[in-house]
Structure 1
Amino acid sequence: METRVSENGKDVITLFRELAYDYFDRTGTLCIWKISYLCQVLRMVSIRSGLQHNFLYRSRDAREETSQGPDPSKKFSYSGRLVFVKTQEMTVYPALYGKVKRDTQLKGTCAIQYIGKSSYCFLQELQLASTGELVCVCSTLMVLIDKATRRPVHFEPKFVEQSLPFVKGGTVSFMRPIVDQPPSYSYRYSISVPASDMDSNYHVNQSNYIKYCMDCAAFGARDHAYSLFTQDIASYPIKSLSVLYIGESRSGQILDVISWEDREKPYIIYFIIRRGKDDIYQSIVRFNVDKSKL
C-alpha cells in the first residue's frame, strides 16, 4: 500500500496493489462490507498523513495564541474525546462487477467535504488504478463526542479555521432514522457476536454490521422472504447503501437483524440491528435491478 498527498493538500491518495482472497464473496465480487473497510482504511491513512486538517487527532495539548505567544490559562485538549462514524452514504458503480479481481490495483482518495460545529464529512473514492473508472464513492459523517457523556463536543474554532483551506467542498444528504416499526412480514436473523469482529475499542467494527445485514439478506432470499430476490443475494448487484450507526455492541452479545423489502420498490431492502430492545444500526440497501421486470 502506497500513500501520497496531492499537490493542493486536499486529497490523500492510496494505492492498493492487491486485495486479499477473503475480500471476495462466493460469486467472486468484492464484498460490500470489505469496500466499507477499505474506505475506513482511507480515512485512517488520511488521519495519519500529517495534513493540517487532522486537528481532531492531535495528542498534545494546544494553547490559544496571543500577541505575546501562547496563553497558558487557555489550555484545551482533545484527550477524553472520541470521534466516531455517525452515518454513511455509499454509491457503487458497475466497474465493481466483473472488473475488480484479487490482482486489480485500486486507487483510493480521501478528503474532507465539509466541517460543522461538532462533525465533519470525509469523502472517499475507490477507482480502478489503471483507468480511473469509479468503483465506489462514500461520504462518511464523523462526530466528535465526550467519552464520558457520549454527547457531541464543538471543535476548537482555531483548528477549524486552519483546516478550511484543505476542505474539498460539497454537501451530502444522509439518511434519517427508520422510525416505523418493522412490518409483520419482516425477516429476522440472530447472531452471537464473535470476538474476531471487535476493533481496537473492543466494539464491533462498523463494516461488520454491513456483513451481518448481507448475511441476513442471504438467508432471507433463501427462505423466500423477498418477492424480487429468488436467487443467492450475492448475485444481485448493489447500487447504493445508506447507513446509520446508533449504538455499540461487543463480543458475545446477541444481535437481532431485521429486514424487509419496500413493497412499492422491492429492489430496496431495509435493515435494523437490535441489541435487546435497542436499535444500534439501521441501513437501506438499493439493488441495481431491471425495474421493467417489476
Structure 2
Amino acid sequence: MMLVSYVIGNHYLFEPPAEGSKEPALDLVFIRGQSWEFLPGYYRHLAPGRGNTVIERLRHIGNTSWVSIQEVRDSPTNELMIRGILQRINVSAIRRRPEPLPDWLKERYYYLTSSVSRPPTVQVFDEPTNVKCFRYSVVVAPSETDTNNHTFHASYLWYCMDCATVGARGGAYSVLRGNLAKFDLKMLEVLYQKESLEGDVLDIESWEDQGSPDILRFQVKKGNENITQLTMQFYLPTA
C-alpha cells in the first residue's frame, strides 16, 4: 500500500514544473506517520486474481508536510476494504531538517491549504507506568534498509509483529494469546520519531492497552532514544 501511494504521489500529484523551470523539486521526503484501517471486506474479498481499486487523494497541504488519504476497494463490488491516512514531510537532504514546501506545490493545491482542516494524523502516545512490558530485540540487517541507508519504514512493522507473535506465544497478553495468526488485524498506526541504521540494536517494548485487550502498543528504542511508536488493534473472535 505504501509503495502504491509513493508511486501515485511521485508520478501524478507532485510532478514538478516543466523542464527548464527554476522552481525546485521536492528534496527528500520522509513519512511522519501512517494509519490504516482494515475493514471486514478486506478479509472477505482479498484473493489471488481478484481486482482491487486504489484511490489516493490529497487532503491537506501545510508548510513542510502534507496529508493524503487512501482507499482500497474491491473492484467487483466496490466495497471498501482498507482506508488510510498518511502524513509526509519535505526534508532537506543536507540539513536533515523539515524544509518548506516549494511555492509551485502550494500554489497548485492552494485550495487544500488554510481553507481545509487537516485530517487527524498519528500522534505520540505516553508510555504507561506500572505496566508489565514484553521486550524483544533485533539487529537491523542490510536487507532492511532503504536507499538512504535508513531502516526501511516497513521493517518496523515486521519488528513489532515479530515482537507481538513471540509475546502472544509466551502469554505476555491477556487475550491475544497463542497463535497470533488467529486474530485478524483491524487497525495499524505508526509514528516515526527518529532514524536507525544498519547494525543498530533496536529494543521493542510492547504492552496491552489498559482497558482494551484488543490493542497492543509498541515503543521501538535505540538505547535511550525513541525511534518509532506503533499501535495494532485486532478483531477478537465473537462467541
TM-score, normalized by the shorter chain, greater than 0.5: yes
Deviation at 1:90, TM superposition (A): 1.0
Partner of 1:47: 9
Paired letter, 1:122? S
Amino acid at match of 1:177: V
Return 5+ residue gaps in structure 1 as ranges.
1-38, 64-75
TM-score of the aligned structures, taking structure 2 as reference length: 0.88
Of 183, 192, 197, the match for 1:245 = 192
Call closer, same or farther: CA 1:61–1:143 in 2, change over 3 Å. farther
Runs of 5+ consecutive residues of structure 2 not aligned to the other structure = none
Q: How do residues 157-236 of structure 1 correspond to structure 2 at under 5 angstroms?
A: 157-164=103-110, 171-180=118-127, 183-236=130-183
Q: CA deviation at 1:232?
A: 1.2
SS in 1 for 2:206: strand
Seq. identity, %: 26
Q: Check the 8 A contact 1:238/1:288 in 2, yes or no.
A: yes
Tell me which residue corresponds to 1:156: 102
Render the CA deviation track for 1:126-149: whole Å, top value 9, x for unaligned. Answer: 122222222211111011121232
Larger Rg over CA atoms: 1
Tell me how far 1:77 sits from its aligned partner: 2.9
Matches of 2:20 and 2:98, distance apart in 1: 20
1:108 matched to which residue of 2?
A: 54
**1:24-49 Cα distance to aligned partner (Å, 9 max, x none):** xxxxxxxxxxxxxxx22222221343
Moved more, 233-242 or 219-228: 233-242
Q: Secondary structure at the match of 2:126?
A: coil
CA distance in 2, matches of 1:104, 1:231: 31
Aligned residues: 237
Contact between 2:67 and 2:86, CA under 8 Å: does it hold in 1? yes
Structure 2: how far apart are the matches of 1:94 and 1:282? 25
| Superposition deviation, residue 165 in structure 1 | 6.1
Partner SS, residue 234 of structure 1: helix
Contact 1:42 1:110 in 2 (8 A): no
CA-atom RMSD, angstroms? 2.5
